[in-house]
Structures are given as structure tokens and as C-alpha cells.
Structure 1
């Protein structure tokens, strides 16, 4: 039996979904807790929770020093989940990410030593500093929540979310992420610099002990699995599904590479979570419109200087809700 077939009962048994209002309260509680550490990025916290509850991953593109690592760590701590950070460098090997089989002299057998991807929340810091071969080490685990080493599969913890950061300051010293990997990320966001008032408050918080050191969990990973089940059960009626399809077709007709079917699925799942945030058991077009720029913008490629987010925004303006 492979490790993927040997998940613990707590991870494989069906979970009972939370009521929608309970799931909405859970997301608010987590976001409020994260804001004890992170100042002025409520929307970014919500984007991470959307990725987490929709079984997706998030790409964070920004300059160094704006709190990307602390944000990921605060979310993991709030969930009482495990957190690992991988610093991607040009000499990082795929096995440094996924793990490797090591020969045990005592047992005379090879034993699997898990890599840092075996955590509930994994931060891939400056992922574009590593060569494509190392970046590709994340493809299987992001899609299937398992790692295959020497023909044997090893399941990662459930829930599992990758938050990868991308350095956009030194393009000459980085590698562009392949389209196949970009498409694995459910969302892409930027944090940006804090406002003057937010930075003043941040500096005040950090004059003594860092607040992350006293942050306590406000939810369990089992709560997250139940909230995921809630989101999966949110109704997406045929007119909403047709609206997503029309939006996807628009991007394909107005770009060299439009939103993929995987992207359309990711948008529907993100809209389901956004509906839960609003305390609803059904998706409305506003949920789709709120999520579309961050779910589709990074997947779209054009022949001009127009970026993917602009194509998505034009689609939202031109495609009617029927």
C-alpha cells in the first residue's frame, strides 16, 4: 500500500460540513486573528482563505519586505496547522522540496525523508529564483496533494495550500514560471506597501515582542475541512455556470492564451467560497465578478502590452449577465 492510500482516518473519513453561517463566522474569526499580526491587508487574508477553502494555491508577486512570509505564517498559526518555508535559490534541487529516499544502515532499507512540502501551509519564497526543473517539483503535489519518489506516492497533509512568492524586482536574476505551473495557482495577488497610518500602527506593534509569537490558533484543520465541505456544497445554478463559460470564451477570443477549463473550475470554486463569506448557500454573479481578476488575470497571455487582469476586467464589462 502506498503512503497516499494510508492517510489517517481524520484525513480520509468524510467530514460533515458546517452550516453556512458557521463557516462564514469561522472565516471572519481567522481573518480577525491574522490581523493581530498583519496590518492593512484584510483583502489579502481573504484571498488566502478563498484559495485554502477552494482547495487551491496562491501566487503572491511583490517586492521584498512587505510581510509575505509573516502573512502565510499567521494564517497557518491561526489554523493550528503546520507551516514550512522553502527559500528557492538557483542551486535548489527538486529533492530539497519534495523529499528523498535515504538508506538506513541499521535496517538496510531505504526510508523516505519528507521535504518541506509536507505541511498544511507551504510558503515557497521567491519561487522564480529556482530553475524550471526545481519549480516543476511542485506540479504533482499542487495538483494531486501527493509526492511520487522512486515510484512510491506519499500524501501531504490535508488541508494543503501552497503560497508562493515571486520577486518582480530583479527579472535578470530570476526564471519565468512556466505556463503549466502558473495555471496551478488558483489566485495571484499583490500586497503592496501599507498606507502611512497602517505603517505607523505596524511600527508600534513591533517595538516589543513580535505579535506572531503570542498568536494563538482560533480554528483547527478539521474545521477547515468542514468549511471546505460547506463551500463545495454551495449551489451554482446553470445561469451562473453559463456566465462563467461566456466570460472564459471572451478571454480566449481576445487573448493569445485565455482562461483554461481548469481556470473556469477554479473561478467557480472561488465564487462558492465568496458566497460562504457572504453567508449564502448559493453563488450570485457578484461572487464571480469579485473573484475573476485574481483567479484569471495571471493565466491570460496577450500579444500586446495589455495584461491579463485588463482582459478580465473588459470581459466583466462586455459580457452580459443573463
Structure 2
């Protein structure tokens, strides 16, 4: 079986490797240990050598695609990334990440949880999409890739990428060659290289099961020693402000002694890919604060106490 009907082979798409966003360059190198990779060496090389096949637009939100999903054809290039929990409430357009061994490109600014490894050009033309919706025309599609396109990346600097996006010339960075995806040829290649491919997969599975952090990941969450957010039946002189939803405190803008008005923002909680603002229910003075930025909170946790004035 072969796919030969008007399919484009995207051999090169712009791609930027930025150490601050590369999961394999974390201070502890956890992702590398899980893949049996050498930090700062094999990980970027694998990402740039991978040839991926387009699987389609994975999620559609707010009138456009959240993710364009693809899988590397070579099993040796299928890196596995965990999804973040809590998820991010913001991911930039063009971000490239992994969820499992599924590589995605975010089509627009949106929430997300995939482990990010870099950023590329926008793959969704919002202007064209809006025009298409308004006049009913579908002659030109607003998305870049088609099913079974093969995509690879090359490195460019952050400055080059941002300049191309800002100046509207991202199309000059994309190189397209016609080609076909032949399933029979691909399966024959897999069979011919089975021994080597199986060895790589087995080594990665062994690395994962022997990872020093696996035991820690499997442990149930335990509140930090001395945490006092659950006041229970304790008498409190003031209004308790609770988290309302489970998540992570990503911002706390008040401290003990601050004066607040009704509706003033106190704390933001990241939960379910949302940023939830916790506002003051009363006018008064903050007398107790139980939460710090970065801490995980439960829905009934007391975050702070406000004495009404």
C-alpha cells in the first residue's frame, strides 16, 4: 500500500533549540536518565534528525487547532515526555513538545501540558481562517500540514525566528519537496532493522524502570511538614479565604498586614489549564497567610484570613 496522491514531503521546517526550554537540559537531567541518553549531546541530535509523519490536527479550540500531531518514523527517535500536572495555563504559538511519544506543535497561544523542547513558525493562519469562515471559501486551507506529510526540523536562532514571524516572511523558511509515503517500503525497513530497533527500545524501558526518581514519582502526595492550611474547627477572628479548586498557587499578591477591598485579587491558582483568581470577599486587613507561590493546594485549603474593618 502506498500513499501517493498529492502528498507533500516537508523536509525542512524552521526549528529553534533553546536550552532554557529543552527538557533534556534540566539541572538534574531526569529526562535523559529516563531515555538512557547523554545530557546535552544525544537529545538535541535526535530531535533534529527525526523525520516525523503528520497524524492530523489533534485538538480544535477557539476556532483553530491547539496541536498538530506527529510521530517520528524511526522508533529510535521516539522520545517520551510526561505531561505536566498541573498543566500550564499558557503555551506560546509554535511551541514544540512531547506528550508520551507524540510530538506536537501548538497552533496558537493556549493552555497546555506537553513537555516543551523548542519553538517553530506558526502553523495556523488565523487571518486566512477568519476570511474563510466569513466568505464560505475553502479553496486554501489555513493549516500548514496535511495527513502523511513528513516533517523534519533544522536549527535557527531565536532572533531569526522572531524576526521572520514579526516581518511576515515565515514561508521563506519552509522547504517543500513532493514525495510519497510507501507503507510496504517502510515496513520492510522496520523488519530489516528489527534487532537494532528492539535493542534501543529495550534499553529505554530498562532505563525508565531503573530510574532513581521513579519511586519518588509513584509516592502519593504528602503535605509539607508543618503545613497549617487546614484550620478545621479552629476559631478564627476573620474571614477565611479558601482555594475553591485543587491546583498550584502561581501568584500571591498580598502579605500579612495588607489592607484589601472587596474584589481585590489575592491569589491566583493554576488548575485544569486555567488561571483562577481568588478575590477578597470583604474589606479588611490580611491577618494570616498560609500559602506560598509554587505550593500545591486542595479545594478546601485555607489560603489566608482577612479581618473585616
TM-score range, shorter chain: under 0.3
Structure 2 length-normalised TM: 0.26
Q: Which structure shows the bigger proportion of residues in strand conformation?
A: 2
Structure having the higher Rg: 2
Structure 1 length-normalised TM: 0.26
